[in-house]
């Protein structure tokens, strides 16, 4: 049972490390100051809380090993951007850093942030300092804490969109770690206040064990990462069901009055360990707008107190809820808050928008949503996206928004600029949404090789080849206009969310070229989710070689064309046919009621 699974086992090594780190210091200050290209594994674990991962160039690993050389180390730096909102000046700083200290590219993540890759150890401090000077942060972009808080980035000028962004920012500020180690380490103790992320206020749901420095987290922080998203039910562009905590706006008379709270989403899984599975969030209840911080804090603290601290594979909120049952979890939330939440309110039917193309903001200005393949902003032959966006922000100085589909929205545009902007797109070879296929528009891939230390095989680098296969199949079948969400990852961790879309492709085994280089290996095909993100995929076929993905899907796509019901999507069709085997947990499965062990 969950309580027993929770905090009672022997704490894992990472737990001991966090607890002994003196609020996220550990050996980090000393090791960063030492010469050498890398830091120890222990220091790297603490570095994650500061927003950076130690990585190495996996394309170089074998060659360097043969030559007796150490790995080619560098660091990934993740920039925390709640709700995906950035100014032109901030964009330009990120661009500078990518050129000066990174690998010449910026990457928009599936959680509305930027990542820099390839930063060398000696450049970490100037990089993170510069990010803070631009009034952005990397604090808690990674690590066992509340991660970047998501909100619909559409710059629609109505009360609703404004309220949703405001609430996401309030929540992000409230949950930020409070230890001063971040400022000591990167800014010589000088704290930078970020205007829309004020310093966190006092704890709102005091519990007996609250720590004086970190009242929400405690000395050992959370058992694992924790993710929160705010969303509209009729525009679930933040994929709220994949989050540990989700707030779905309840709207009355054009204003958000409160939220239906959902909890326990999470996609990471280890195929060989049946104790792990992807899960979608389940309903918890309704909360008025002015109590969202209280409810969120209570849920974070339940995870802090009952999450599994001995087995990191099973240390996500979804497992607490699964082990206890959803009713018992709701009761525990009521206990922490001193009152049960009201039942969830009715909501409109779920929909999703990608916000690409030209749109009217409602204030006389326009926004232009640009697709970015795998979120990678770089210059590559005719497509000069890095240089193009730099020129754009230097010229217009208007802000931008990042989406959870790895794309960018250029906002607050004067309609009179449209002709010039269209010429600018052509000059830099930047494709608009009308110029790419529908399948590409709705697809994503994670970074995988060569930077990700956990990748089994390729994803981002295999993406163009995957698109070519699918575009050919879909065109041949007359399905080119079908909205198909295809998401590819280099391993089962699920970073591009392959477990709740139409077609998920998950890296299964590696493949090497004759000279030992990396190439796309085999993939597991998952089917039957949908663009709305509220249904899990099922495992359809395992170990499919990369170049056979298109032909494996061909017969099924043909059947879909011939046998689909009116307005049925491919995912709905696969679900109706019951294709594949279950590999996840739904709201129904989690609704058993076992008492939490308190």
Among 227, 355, 359, 390, binds ligand SRM (CB under 6 A): 227
Is 491 assigned a catalytic role?
yes
d(CA 314, CA 266): 11
Cβ contact 253:344 at 8 Å: no
Rule CB under 6 A: is residue 18 a binding residue for ligand SRM? Answer: no
Q: Identify the CA nearest to 226 among candidates 211, 244, 240.
A: 244
Q: How far does CA 435 lie from the centroid of its chain? A: 26
Rule CB under 6 A: is residue 486 a binding residue for ligand SF4? Answer: no
d(CA 260, CA 342): 9
Is 175 assigned a catalytic role?
no
Cβ contact 154:160 at 8 Å: no
Binding map of ligand SF4 across residues 127-146, x = CB under 6 A, - = no contact: --------------------
Query: What stretches of 101-208 show up as alpha helix (H) in DSSP?
Result: 124-133, 159-175, 181-187
| Rounded alpha-carbon distances, angstroms, from residue 188 to 183, 191, 286 | 6, 9, 43
491 binds, among ligand SF4, ligand SRM, none (CB under 5 to 8 A by kind): ligand SF4
CB of 159 to ligand SF4, least distance (A): 37
Rule CB under 6 A: is residue 307 a binding residue for ligand SRM? Answer: no
By CB under 6 A, the count of residues binding ligand SRM is 30
Among 106, 452, 503, 557, binds ligand SF4 (CB under 6 A): 452
267 binds, among ligand SF4, ligand SRM, none (CB under 5 to 8 A by kind): ligand SRM
CB of 490 to ligand SF4, least distance (A): 3
Is 508 assigned a catalytic role?
no
User: If DSSP codes are grouped into helix, strand and coil, which group holds residue 312?
Assistant: helix
Nearer to ligand SRM, 163 or 451 (CB): 451
Give the H or E element holding residue 320. Answer: helix 317-324
Binding map of ligand SF4 across residues 493-532, x = CB under 6 A, - = no contact: xxx-------------------------------------
574 binds, among ligand SF4, ligand SRM, none (CB under 5 to 8 A by kind): none
Is there a cis peptide before residue 450, judged by omega within 30 degrees of 0? Answer: yes
- Cβ neighbours of 567 (radius 10 Å): 6
Among 220, 455, 462, 585, binds ligand SF4 (CB under 6 A): 455
Q: How far does CA 506 lie from the centroid of its chain? A: 16
Rule CB under 6 A: is residue 242 a binding residue for ligand SRM? Answer: yes
CB of 265 to ligand SRM, least distance (A): 7
Cβ contact 365:412 at 8 Å: yes
Rule CB under 6 A: is residue 448 a binding residue for ligand SF4? Answer: yes
Among 84, 155, 447, 528, binds ligand SRM (CB under 6 A): 447
Range in contact with ligand SF4 (rule: CB under 6 A) among 79-87, 96-104, 451-459, 574-582: 451-459
Nearer to ligand SRM, 108 or 249 (CB): 108
Nearer to ligand SRM, 251 or 459 (CB): 459
d(CA 340, CA 50): 35
**Burial category of 507 from C-beta neighbours within 10 Å (exposed 0-12, middle 13-18, buried 19 and up):** buried
CB of 315 to ligand SF4, least distance (A): 16
* Own/partner long-range contacts of 204-208 (Cβ < 8 Å, ≥24 apart): 204/174, 204/293, 204/294, 204/297, 205/294, 205/297, 205/298, 205/301, 205/336, 205/337, 207/301, 207/305, 207/336
Nearer to ligand SF4, 398 or 403 (CB): 403
- Identify the bridge partners of residue 507 per DSSP, sorted by sequence position: 523
Nearer to ligand SRM, 215 or 266 (CB): 266
Range in contact with ligand SF4 (rule: CB under 6 A) among 84-92, 239-247, 280-288, 492-500: 492-500
CB of 519 to ligand SF4, least distance (A): 15
CB of 494 to ligand SF4, least distance (A): 6
Binding map of ligand SRM across residues 343-382, x = CB under 6 A, - = no contact: --------------------------------x-------
Is 147 assigned a catalytic role?
yes
Token pair for 257: 């009055």
| Rounded alpha-carbon distances, angstroms, from residue 327 to 211, 287, 558 | 29, 17, 43
Pairing of strands 376-377, 106-108: antiparallel
Q: Identify the CA nearest to 596 among candidates 333, 324, 317, 331.
A: 324
Is 495 assigned a catalytic role?
yes
Rule CB under 6 A: is residue 452 a binding residue for ligand SRM? Answer: yes
CB of 460 to ligand SF4, least distance (A): 8
Q: How far apart are the first and last CA of the chain?
A: 11
Residue written as tokens 């090791």? 31
Catalytic-labelled residue, pool 225, 304, 309, 583: 225
Among 20, 340, 454, 472, binds ligand SF4 (CB under 6 A): 454
CB of 485 to ligand SF4, least distance (A): 16
Is 152 assigned a catalytic role?
no
Cite the active site residues. Answer: 78, 147, 225, 227, 446, 452, 491, 495
| Contact footprint for ligand SF4 (CB under 6 A) | 446-448, 452, 454-455, 459, 489-491, 493-495
């Amino acid at each position: 049972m969950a309580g027993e699974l929770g905090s009672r086992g022997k704490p894992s090594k990472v737990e001991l490390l966090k607890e002994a780190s003196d609020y996220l210091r550990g050996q980090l200050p000393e090791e960063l100051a030492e010469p050498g290209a890398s830091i120890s594994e222990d220091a790297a674990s603490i570095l994650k809380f500061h927003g950076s991962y130690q990585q190495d160039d996996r394309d170089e690993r074998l060659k360097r090993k043969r030559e007796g050389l150490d790995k080619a180390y560098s660091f990934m730096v993740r920039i925390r951007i709640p709700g995906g909102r950035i100014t032109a000046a901030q964009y330009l700083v990120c661009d500078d850093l990518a050129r000066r200290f990174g690998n010449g590219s910026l990457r928009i993540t599936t959680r509305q942030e930027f990542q820099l890759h390839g930063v060398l150890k000696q450049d970490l401090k100037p990089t993170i300092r510069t990010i803070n000077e631009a009034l952005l942060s990397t604090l808690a972009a990674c690590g066992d804490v509340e991660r970047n808080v998501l909100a619909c980035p559409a710059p629609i000028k109505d009360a609703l969109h404004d309220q949703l962004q405001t609430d996401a920012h309030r929540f992000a500020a409230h949950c930020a770690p409070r230890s001063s180690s971040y400022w000591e380490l990167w800014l010589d103790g000088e704290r930078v206040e970020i205007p829309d992320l004020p310093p966190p206020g006092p704890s709102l749901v005091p519990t007996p064990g609250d720590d004086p420095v970190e009242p929400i987290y405690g000395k050992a922080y959370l058992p694992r990462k924790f993710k929160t998203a705010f969303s509209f039910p009729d525009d679930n562009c933040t994929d709220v069901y994949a989050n540990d905590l989700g707030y779905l706006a309840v709207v009355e008379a054009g204003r958000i009055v409160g939220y239906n709270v959902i909890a326990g989403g999470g996609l990471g899984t280890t195929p060989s360990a049946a104790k792990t599975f992807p899960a979608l969030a389940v309903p918890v209840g309704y909360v008025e707008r002015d109590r969202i911080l209280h409810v969120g804090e209570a849920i974070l603290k339940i995870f802090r107190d009952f999450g599994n601290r001995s087995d990191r594979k099973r240390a996500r909120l979804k497992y607490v809820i699964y082990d206890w049952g959803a009713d018992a979890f709701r009761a525990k939330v009521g206990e922490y808050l001193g009152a049960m939440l009201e039942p969830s309110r009715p909501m409109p039917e779920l929909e999703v928008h990608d916000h690409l193309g030209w749109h009217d903001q409602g204030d006389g200005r326009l926004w232009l949503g640009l697709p970015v393949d795998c979120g990678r902003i770089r210059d590559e032959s005719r497509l000069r996206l890095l240089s193009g966006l730099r020129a754009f922000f230097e010229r217009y100085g208007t802000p931008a928004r990042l989406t959870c589909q790895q794309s960018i929205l250029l906002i607050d545009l004067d309609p009179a600029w449209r002709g010039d902007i269209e010429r600018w797109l052509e000059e830099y070879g930047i494709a608009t949404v009308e110029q790419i296929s529908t399948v590409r528009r709705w697809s994503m891939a994670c970074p995988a090789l060569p930077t990700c230390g956990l990748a089994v095989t390729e994803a981002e680098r295999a993406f163009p080849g995957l698109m070519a296969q699918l575009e050919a199949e879909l065109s041949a079948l007359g399905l080119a206009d079908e909205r198909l969400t295809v998401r590819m990852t280099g391993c089962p961790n699920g970073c591009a969310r392959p477990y709740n879309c139409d077609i998920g492709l998950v890296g299964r085994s590696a493949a090497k070229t004759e000279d030992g280089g990396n190439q796309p290996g085999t993939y597991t095909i998952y089917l039957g989710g949908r663009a709305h993100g509220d249904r899990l995929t099922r495992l359809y076929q395992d170990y499919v070689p990369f170049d056979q993905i298109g032909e494996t899907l061909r017969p099924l796509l043909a059947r879909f064309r011939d046998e689909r019901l009116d307005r049925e999507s491919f995912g709905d069709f696969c679900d109706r046919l019951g294709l594949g085997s279950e590999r996840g947990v739904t709201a129904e499965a989690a609704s058993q009621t076992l008492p939490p062990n308190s």
